[in-house]
Amino acid sequence: MTIRTDTAVLDRKGLEALVEALADDGRTVIGPTVRDGAIVLAELEGADELPYGCGVELDAGRYRLTHREDGAVFAHSAGPQSWKNFLHPQREKLWSADRTADGEVTVSAARPEPVSYAFLGVRPCDLRAIAIQDRVLTGGSYRDDGYGERRRGAFLVAVECAAPGATCFCVSMGGGPGTDSGFDLALTEVIDEAGHRFLVRAGSREGAALLEKLPRQEADDATRAAARAVVAEAADRMGRSMPPVNLQRLMGDSLEAARWDDVAARCLTCGNCTMVCPTCFCTTTEEVTDLTGDHAERWQRWDSCFDLDFSHLHGGPVRSSGRSRYRQWLTHKLGTWHDQFDSTGCVGCGRCIVWCPVGIDITEEVTALKAEADAKSHVTATTEDRTYEEEEAER
């Protein structure tokens, strides 16, 4: 029997073989695993390190691991890290300079370590986030060579979502728990009376070639239907949603909203939301020297628009208040990102809600801004009460 390689079914042994085959190809396999009470992304030695039987319970400012009787391996939503930790690392050396005995100074560019990643378990929201970072870091005038090199060599194994968290809202950001592109392989985990298995689809020639090497079964109609149902049910179980409004315009119209004072009274300006966000990309540079002053290095590290120094010009920071910094983050993410990169900067992964120490919820903030804009529309409406969306539809 000839088995088509663009779609197939893997069992648990097939998943183990997938991890082995990726490692045999010389790739560093990164996937979800349990560490320090969370499902983190880390290098996997084998498939037995995957979080079998682990779920998560999420809410604003809350994350707990739970036990699942069904032994599901991918039934958890986005954890504290995203793939940017590997593609766009927190710290990276850019160059070093050395002074020789005769006083000459030589400068050498630091080449990124050649690494070929395989990412196992990339959620559809994170596939979109990678595509957004691709545009930012490889598509414009300010390219990040290290990112480009790591990205070119990366093999992506996506996993469609079966168990969205209470903080997920990808559907309302135009995405969803399923995916059709941007991956080399895509898995959908199915657990029913016919067993625990994974429908796998190839999305690239490389993916199809790898799939051909794995022990697999022909994709049957029952598994295909069950996989479709998993994704459809997940789409109906989103924990949150963004209000259906033109966010770009709402942000532009809300620059003087009173809500910024409200959120500023709660926000600690800690920057956690920018660290966990899979699309935030800002960096700064710093120089270090050794004690002799003969060796110096320049490092690039993540920065955050919540940091006071981020907007420091001569004389002080431009955005000195928490109000202005939170407003900068939200209006860039949902508004001016469109002007710069032709897309939203938010994929609805919910990480900023979960990992905010005081539980600030981006969907709640936008809902409040929209209510304020609605109220303003009502005040200014002359003939009838119109909502913000109705006004917008008329423009």
d(CA 219, CA 188) in angstroms, rounded, equals 12
Tokens of 265: 């009274």
- The DSSP symbol for 333 reads I
- The correct pick among 158, 277, 305, 373 for binding ligand SF4 (CB under 6 A) is 277
- The DSSP symbol for 100 reads -
Cβ 247 to ligand SF4 shortest distance, Å: 11
Beta-sheet pairing, 28-35 with 117-122: parallel
| Beta carbons of 200 and 10 less than 8 angstroms apart | yes
278 binds ligand SF4 (CB under 6 A): yes
Contact code string over 279-308 relative to ligand SF4, x by CB under 6 A:
x--------------------------x--
- The correct pick among 154, 360, 366, 369 for binding ligand SF4 (CB under 6 A) is 360
267 binds ligand SF4 (CB under 6 A): yes
What are the Cα distances from residue 141, in Å, to 134, 144, 183, 362, 395?
A: 13, 10, 26, 30, 34
- The correct pick among 42, 97, 270, 371 for binding ligand SF4 (CB under 6 A) is 270
Kind and range of the H or E run holding 158: strand 155-159
77 binds ligand SF4 (CB under 6 A): no
A 10 A CB-CB count for 102 gives 5
Cβ 330 to ligand SF4 shortest distance, Å: 8
319 binds ligand SF4 (CB under 6 A): no
- The correct pick among 186, 351, 377, 388 for binding ligand SF4 (CB under 6 A) is 351
Cβ 124 to ligand SF4 shortest distance, Å: 12
Interface with ligand SF4: number of residues (CB under 6 A): 25
Cβ 353 to ligand SF4 shortest distance, Å: 7
Number of helices (H), then strands (E), belonging to the chain: the values are 14, 16
The CA R_g of the chain, rounded to the nearest whole Å, is: 23
Tokens of 46: 């084998």
Cβ 91 to ligand SF4 shortest distance, Å: 20
| Residues found near ligand SF4 in the complex (CB under 6 A) | 267-273, 276-279, 306, 333, 346-352, 356-358, 360, 362
